[in-house]
């Protein structure tokens, strides 16, 4: 009996079935999306925020020459210092004492923080009929006749919290018809007092000196200083001295530039203040401020127009706006000025990444905005962009 074999299937049938199975498997796994990565540049931009301005490359090269100006403050003392305090000053004074006429002079002063006091006067004229008598707190400190044209100094010790001085003439005796008369001039009362003394000087930094501005304050400390507490130097309220208890005989130099924020971008009058804490006293010698600046007017400048329409401006509300740029070359001691609409940003540019945080108020709604880079050195900048970011995802470098 013959064996009948089944007829062979077509290879196409197996291929077709396999293809159908693979298709439905891929459909279930990936839907209708293709397998390749199609991340777009728009996805990257949305991660960083909305870019409203971008520039690829900027090269700034400038030649510079440098000049200097020195401001001298001289020698002085600051801190808890004994000094001469004026209490009373009278140009001319007449005292008389007689049977029919009596004229005297009295005045008072507080003795807080005072040491010894002095009364100084000149006798312009006198008839010397009686003594000239001077009291301190009802105690006699001078009782004698004087010489015409003589200058006298009377010392007052053991001062009280409140002190009274009285100057009078004494009786003319048997010359009762004519009073004793003393005509005094240049009458002054002064005392040695301990006070907290500081020194403040104003100075001007001119607009043309702000290009390449650097400054150095130098001073020495005298051997008579009492280093019981700190010595301080401030410029416009900014503390600039690193050494708080400087040693005798050493030369100290404090340096700063415009990026330190001590000097304003367009300053008028600045002030420098020297002072001490507690009961310290410092003798400051040969204090001077040297300002260094570029006197060349050949700055390298590059300007960009940033257009901000009304919708973009409204999108900035309650958002952080960031200006970012990358520096891959800069010259030594070079400064880069960055401004938007003539507003200078007080920030020091570093090598590699740089970032300036802006706000909506820095821009003009529906108008063009001027972004400006300027230097008296050499800079190579790339990847400049301004973007709006969400505060929640924003991180400063």
Q: Which two tokens stand for residue 215?
A: 């400054």
Per residue in 359-368, pLDDT tens? Answer: 999 999 999 9
State the pLDDT at residue 265: 61
List all residues 6 or more positions away from 72 whose beta carbon is below 8 Å from its beta carbon. Answer: 287, 288
Could you give the percent of the chain with pLDDT greater than 70? 85
SS3 258: helix
Global pTM reads 0.54
Q: Which two tokens stand for residue 350?
A: 């570093």
Q: What is the average pLDDT across 20-26?
A: 47
Average pLDDT over residues 216-245: 94
Residues 6+ apart with CB under 8 A from 269: 202, 203, 204
Confidence category of residue 213, pLDDT binned at 50, 70, 90: confident
The mean predicted confidence, pLDDT, of the chain is: 84
Q: Which residue has the higher pLDDT, 190 or 266?
A: 190
For residue 394, name the pLDDT band (cuts at 50, 70, 90).
low
Question: Is pLDDT of 66 > 70?
Answer: yes
pLDDT confidence of residue 268:
73
Check residue 101 and give its pLDDT: 84
- Nearest in space to 271 (alpha carbons), one of 230, 232, 238: 238
- The helix or strand, by DSSP H or E, that contains position 314, with its residue range, turns out to be helix 310-315
| pLDDT confidence of residue 379 | 93
**Ramachandran region of residue 352, left (φ > 0), alpha (ψ -120 to 50) or beta?**
left
Instruction: Give Cα separations from 111 to 88, 119, 193, 261 (angstroms).
Output: 13, 14, 9, 44
pLDDT, tens digit, 9 for 90 and up, residues 115-167: 789 999 999 999 999 999 999 998 999 999 999 999 999 998 888 989 999 99
Please give the pLDDT value at position 362.
96
Confidence of residue 99 (pLDDT cuts 50, 70, 90): confident
Band (pLDDT 50/70/90 cuts) for residue 48 is low
| Least reliable range by pLDDT among 39-43, 59-63, 272-276 | 39-43
| Domains recognised in the chain with CATH numbers | 43-64+298-393 (2.60.120.260), 84-195 (2.60.120.260), 198-294 (2.60.120.260)
Mean pLDDT of 46-55: 79
106 pLDDT exceeds 80? yes
Q: In what order do the strands lie in the sheet with 269-276?
A: 199-204, 269-276, 231-235, 238-239
Query: What integer pLDDT is reported at residue 391 of this predicted model?
Result: 62
Residue 181 pLDDT grade (very low, low, confident, very high; cuts 50, 70, 90): very high
> Do 263 and 213 touch, CB atoms closer than 8 A?
yes
Q: How confident is the model at residue 392 (pLDDT cuts 50, 70, 90)?
A: low
**372, 60 Cβ separation under 8 angstroms:** no
Per-residue pLDDT reduced to its tens digit, 258-308: 778 888 766 778 999 999 999 899 999 999 999 998 877 678 999 999 999
């Amino acid at each position: 009996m013959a064996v009948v074999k089944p007829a062979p299937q077509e290879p196409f049938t197996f291929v077709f079935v396999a293809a159908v199975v693979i298709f439905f498997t891929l459909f279930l796994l990936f839907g209708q999306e293709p397998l390749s990565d199609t991340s777009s540049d728009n996805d990257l931009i949305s991660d960083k925020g909305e870019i409203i301005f971008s520039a690829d490359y900027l090269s700034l090269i400038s030649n510079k020459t440098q000049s200097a100006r020195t401001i001298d403050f001289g020698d002085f003392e600051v801190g808890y210092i004994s000094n001469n305090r004026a209490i009373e000053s009278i140009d001319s004074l007449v005292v008389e004492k007689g049977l029919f006429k009596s004229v005297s002079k009295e005045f008072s002063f507080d003795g807080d923080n005072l040491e010894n006091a002095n009364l100084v006067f000149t006798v312009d004229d006198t008839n010397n009929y009686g003594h000239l008598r001077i009291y301190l707190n009802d105690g006699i400190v001078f009782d004698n006749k004087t010489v015409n044209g003589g200058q006298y100094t009377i010392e007052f010790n053991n001062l009280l919290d409140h002190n009274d001085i009285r100057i009078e003439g004494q009786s003319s005796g048997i010359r009762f018809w004519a009073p004793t008369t003393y005509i005094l001039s240049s009458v002054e009362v002064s005392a040695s007092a301990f006070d907290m003394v500081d020194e403040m000087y104003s100075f001007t930094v001119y607009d043309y000196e702000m290009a390449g501005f650097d400054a150095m304050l130098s001073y020495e400390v005298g051997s008579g200083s009492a280093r019981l507490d700190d010595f301080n130097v401030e410029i416009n309220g900014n503390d600039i001295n690193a050494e708080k208890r400087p040693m005798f005989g050493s030369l100290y130099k404090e340096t700063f530039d415009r990026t330190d924020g001590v000097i304003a971008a367009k300053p008028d009058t600045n002030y420098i203040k020297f002072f001490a804490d507690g009961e310290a006293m410092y003798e400051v010698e040969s204090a001077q401020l040297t300002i260094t600046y570029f006197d060349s007017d050949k700055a390298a400048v590059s300007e960009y127009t940033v257009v901000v329409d009304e919708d973009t401006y409204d999108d900035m509300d309650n958002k952080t706006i960031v200006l970012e740029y990358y520096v891959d070359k800069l010259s030594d001691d070079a400064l880069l000025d960055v401004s938007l609409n003539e507003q200078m940003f007080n920030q020091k540019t570093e090598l590699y990444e740089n970032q300036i945080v802006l706000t909506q108020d820095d821009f003009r709604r529906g108008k063009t905005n001027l972004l400006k880079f300027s230097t008296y050195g050499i800079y190579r900048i790339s990847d400049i962009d301004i973007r709006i970011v969400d505060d929640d995802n924003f991180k400063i470098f």
